[in-house]
Structure 1
Amino acid sequence: MKLETVKNKEIIAILAKVLLISHQNNCESFNVFEEKGADMMSRRKLNATCIVVSLMMLLQGCSNIAITKDQQVEQAFEKHLSIYPVKSLEDFYDMEGFRDKEFDKDDKGTWVVSSKIAIQKDDSSPLVSKNIYLFFNKNNNKATGKFVLSKIYEDFSKNTENEYRIAYSNNKIELLDNAPKEVELFLKDYKFLVEEKSFKSLNNLPKISSRHNDNLPLYSINYLIKQDNEINKWLQQKYKFMKQDAIMNIENSGELSNSSLSNFYFKVRYKGKKEEIQYFRESINFKPSKGGY
């Protein structure tokens, strides 16, 4: 596994002192040769030996502060996720996101906050998904969006999709179109994961797998979250998900070292008996406003 050394000025300074001291100590043990009239070549060989020994000690010490790529990614995840839960989704108006070359100079950008609940009872049933998309435009401090209710069948010709306009203000989702009662009730008390729960320490969660690509950039880790995990319990209680262990995927597309917030994607997936599938997905993306948001 590829190792990357922690970049810490204080640690480097300490290690430099250790190198100096160890070099002096090691050389002192050989001073007896100089007293016996060792020639210049012997002294040079002796100094070279001292340096090699000291470097070996230094490298051995460095191995104790090396971290894996997963740990580096995880630490970056925790730093960015520490802002959640937010007091209100309207806090996104004041947040700065990761900007690439697609952004115009005068465009403050738009935060796209989306959430999805999808359930498929068995192989013969459709996958029913309820999707919320909110666009928090930093240029005018207005949030509009849409709610999409879809049913996906094995026979694609039977698929259905209904879309309703929504807005967000005063910490509530407002339905702008006429919609069935079930849609009104679903949106009335809907809450996003990022406004109610903390991710806490990811290091305490068992890791299942990971994939990272510095060139894209894209970083992804799958965790096992037990039934009594706080996020798992929140999903069980609020949205009636299965009471069992689940797999949580966290994905980030953005520079890990960048101080601004990057795009994040969260997905919690459950699989029950008779091929029943349930999953909750939420994403936070920063986009150029010229995309029509």
Structure 2
Amino acid sequence: MSTDAMTWAMDRAPMPRTEKGKPDTTGRHVLQVLAEYANPDGTNAHPSVLRIQFRSGYDRTTVQRALRRLEKSGLIRRDGSVDGRTRWRLAMELVRPESDWTDLEREENDFRAAAAERKRRSRSRGVTGAESVTVTDSKGVTVTDAESVTGDVTDSAPSRHALNASPSRTERRPNHQQPSVNQLHKDSSSPTAQEDAPAPAAEPKPASKPRPAKPTADEHLEAFGAFWLNYPKKRAREEARKAWIAATGRGADPQHIVTAAASYAKERAGEDPKYTKYPATWLNKGCYDDEPDQPARPHLRAVGDYQPWRNPEDHSGYYEEL
């Protein structure tokens, strides 16, 4: 890699142009990749198209088109081939004109001036001057054109009072909410009248319902002891105690759980104990709310030596039986 070739490709080389006359940034990037593999005098640059793709990130078609534009503009020239790859020679004698930098500076200054002008206009639109001033000291007195106000004040009987006049668009409040006429009259009333007015009675707050007291740890253990005595399978007592506390915390009635455990013990009486649920499992799954199993109905069997007829199409034996 040559520092001279890289400096030329980045700063001193003329900016290539597209067919529409716009700056060819893609071609300039490919030119910088070629400069990385060139000698200090710009010769012997022969990276493959695949290598240019890897360094620039462009696809194969984009790289090939950029090389053709660079060759057409005279920035690179073919100088033989190496191992099937085209060898390029950079035209380092071409130098970028100084006007490019001055043009950029002029564009930057124009942009800043336009931005400052837009900001000035935006501020000027937000500030407006009031052409008239209304005096609200007495009824029926209105003064217009603040610049020509003198010591003479005329009484305008038919004019509207300042409190009844609707505010103009330039006199909006900061939150853009206009007060009503009643609010304006209320604000203009004397402070003595406002102080003498009785304060509105505060409405009584509804009494809050007392929350039910949470069961204590001793009450939990006492009810859990009754459950443990009634449950048919006593395994993993500590896990069962935690499941008990969780179930009662969800709102389950402890007496209901104890009664359901006793019913479950009756159902499992005489059954294989290995199919009986563990206490913690039974509580976590909410089995205390399950309906009890219905008792099995008795199986009816025929009495005597009677045998049902197996061939309904042959009735000969049926009549002999009768």
Note whether the superposition's TM-score is higher than 0.5: no
TM-score scaled by structure 1? 0.20
Identify which of structures 1 and 2 has the higher relative contact order when contacts are C-alpha pairs closer than 8 Å and 6+ apart: 1
For the pair shown, the structure with the greater C-alpha radius of gyration is 2
Higher helix share: 2
Name the structure with the higher strand share.
Answer: 1
